[in-house]
Structure 1
Amino acid sequence: MSKIFLNQVGFQPDSAKKAVLDFEADEFKIVDDAGNEAFNGRVIHFGKDEISGEDTYVADFGGFYKAGRYHVEANGVSSPNFEISENVYDKLMKDICKCFYYLRCGDALDRKYAGEFYHEPCHMSKATVYGEDTDPVDVTGGWHDAGDYGRYSTAGAVAVAHLLYGVRFFDNLLNVEFDIPKVQAGSASADNTSISGYLPDILAEAKVELDFLMKMQRENGSVWHKVTTFCHAPFIMPEEDTSELFLFNVSSMATADIAAVFALAYTIYRNYDAEYADKLMDRAKRAYKWLQDNPEPLLFKNAEGSNTGEYGEAEDISNRFWAACALYEATGEKSYYQDAETQKERLGSFDKAAEFKGYQGDVFTCLGWAEVAGLGCMSLLLSDDGSELFELAKKSYLQEADRLCDNADKNGFGLCMDKKDFIWGSNMELLKYLMVLTVAEHINSETATNAGGNGKLAKSVKKTRSKYESAIIAGIDYLLGCNSMDVSYVTGNGEKAFKNPHLRPTAIDDVEQPWPGLVSGGPNVGLQDERAQTLPKDLPPMKCYLDHIDCYSLNEITIYWNSPLVFVMAGVFRRMGR
Structure 2
Amino acid sequence: MNQATPAFRIDQEGYAAGLPVCTAVLGEGTVTLKNAAGETVRSIAVNAPETDPASGDAVTLVDLGVLESGEYELERGIDRRRLSVKPRAWNAVTHALIKGLYFQRCGCGLSPEHAGVYAHPPCHTAPAAEWEDRSVRRRVTGGWHDAGDYGKYTGPGAVTVAHLLYAWKLFPRGCGEDLNIPETGNGVPDILNEARFELEWILQMQRSNGAFHNKLTKSHFAPFIMPQDDLEPEYLMPVCWCATADAAACLALAYRVYRPFDEAFANRMLLAAKRAWDWLQAHPDYVPFMNPEGVRTGLYGGRSDASNRFWAACELYAATGGPAYRQAAEQLYTPKIPLLEFGWMEVGGLGTLCCLFDLKENAGDVLYTRLKEDFLRRCEKALTLSKASGYGTALEPDRYVWGSILPVMGNAMAMIMASLLTGRQDMRDAALLQWHYALGMNALDLCFVTGFGERRVMHPHHRPSGADGIEAPVPGLISGGPNKLFCMPQTKERLSPDTPPAKHYLDETPSADTNEIAIYWNSPAVFVGAYFNTPA
Q: In the superposition, relative to structure 1, how do residues 108 and 441 fare at CA in structure 2: closer, same or farther (>3 Å)?
A: farther
Q: CA deviation at 1:343?
A: 1.9
Seq. identity, %: 36
- Tell me, what secondary structure is at the counterpart of 2:489? coil
Match of 1:61 in 2: 64
Deviates more, 1:522-531 or 1:199-208: 522-531
Structure 2: distance between partners of 1:546 and 1:71? 29
Q: CA deviation at 1:317?
A: 1.3
Match of 1:47 in 2: 50
Q: Does structure 2 conserve the Cα–Cα contact (< 8 Å) formed by 1:378 and 1:393?
A: no
Q: CA deviation at 1:279?
A: 0.7
Give matches, 1:433-472, under 5 Å. 433-444=411-422, 462=423, 465-472=424-431
Matched, 1:342 2:331: yes
Q: Does structure 2 conserve the Cα–Cα contact (< 8 Å) formed by 1:14 and 1:62?
A: no
1:512 is matched with which residue: 444, 450, 471? 471
1:480 is matched with which residue: 428, 439, 454? 439
Q: CA deviation at 1:198?
A: 1.7
State the one-letter code of the partner of 1:126: P
Q: Does structure 2 conserve the Cα–Cα contact (< 8 Å) formed by 1:162 and 1:567?
A: yes
Give matches, 1:300-319, under 5 Å. 300-319=289-308
Q: Does structure 1 conserve the Cα–Cα contact (< 8 Å) formed by 2:330 and 2:366?
A: no
Q: In the superposition, relative to structure 1, how do residues 341 and 108 fare at CA in structure 2: closer, same or farther (>3 Å)?
A: farther
Match of 1:9 in 2: 13
Q: How many residues align?
A: 527
Match of 2:524 in 1: 564
Q: CA deviation at 1:242?
A: 0.3
Q: CA deviation at 1:37?
A: 4.3
Matched, 1:523 2:527: no
Structure 2: distance between partners of 1:379 and 1:153? 20
Structure 1: distance between partners of 2:432 and 2:199? 31
Match of 1:455 in 2: none
Q: Does structure 1 conserve the Cα–Cα contact (< 8 Å) formed by 2:148 and 2:518?
A: yes
Match of 2:495 in 1: 535
- Structure 2 unmatched runs, 5+: none
Q: Does structure 2 conserve the Cα–Cα contact (< 8 Å) formed by 1:108 and 1:141?
A: no
TM-score (norm 1): 0.88
Match of 1:499 in 2: 458
Q: CA deviation at 1:178?
A: 1.6
Q: Does structure 1 conserve the Cα–Cα contact (< 8 Å) formed by 2:89 and 2:533?
A: no
Q: In the superposition, relative to structure 1, how do residues 211 and 494 fare at CA in structure 2: closer, same or farther (>3 Å)?
A: same
Match of 2:373 in 1: 395
- Tell me, what secondary structure is at the counterpart of 2:46? strand
The CA deviation string for residues 35-58 of structure 1, in whole angstroms up to 9 with x for no partner, is x34533113334112112111134
Match of 1:550 in 2: 510
Q: CA deviation at 1:527?
A: 5.8
Match of 2:276 in 1: 287
Match of 1:27 in 2: 31
Q: In the superposition, relative to structure 1, how do residues 237 and 108 fare at CA in structure 2: closer, same or farther (>3 Å)?
A: closer
Structure 2: distance between partners of 1:512 and 1:37? 40
Q: Does structure 2 conserve the Cα–Cα contact (< 8 Å) formed by 1:29 and 1:74?
A: no
Match of 1:297 in 2: 286
Q: Does structure 2 conserve the Cα–Cα contact (< 8 Å) formed by 1:41 and 1:59?
A: no
Deviates more, 1:301-310 or 1:201-210: 301-310
Matched, 1:207 2:189: no
State the one-letter code of the partner of 2:342: L
Q: Does structure 1 conserve the Cα–Cα contact (< 8 Å) formed by 2:61 and 2:392?
A: no
Match of 1:74 in 2: 76
State the one-letter code of the partner of 2:22: K
Give matches, 1:81-480, under 5 Å. 81-173=82-174, 175-182=176-183, 197-345=186-334, 348=335, 351=336, 363-381=338-356, 382-384=358-360, 385=362, 386-444=364-422, 462=423, 465-480=424-439
Q: In the superposition, relative to structure 1, how do residues 59 and 389 fare at CA in structure 2: closer, same or farther (>3 Å)?
A: closer
CA RMSD of aligned residues (A): 1.7
Structure 1: distance between partners of 2:462 and 2:343? 21
Structure 1: distance between partners of 2:269 and 2:63? 49
Structure 1: distance between partners of 2:268 and 2:374? 33
Q: CA deviation at 1:224?
A: 0.3
- Tell me, what secondary structure is at the counterpart of 1:136? strand
Structure 1: distance between partners of 2:345 and 2:458? 28
Structure 1: distance between partners of 2:34 and 2:148? 39
Deviates more, 1:422-431 or 1:170-179: 170-179
Q: In the superposition, relative to structure 1, how do residues 238 and 93 fare at CA in structure 2: closer, same or farther (>3 Å)?
A: same
- Tell me, what secondary structure is at the counterpart of 1:92? helix
Structure 2: distance between partners of 1:16 and 1:244? 52
Deviates more, 1:129-138 or 1:285-294: 129-138
Q: Does structure 2 conserve the Cα–Cα contact (< 8 Å) formed by 1:31 and 1:73?
A: no
Structure 1: distance between partners of 2:10 and 2:34? 12
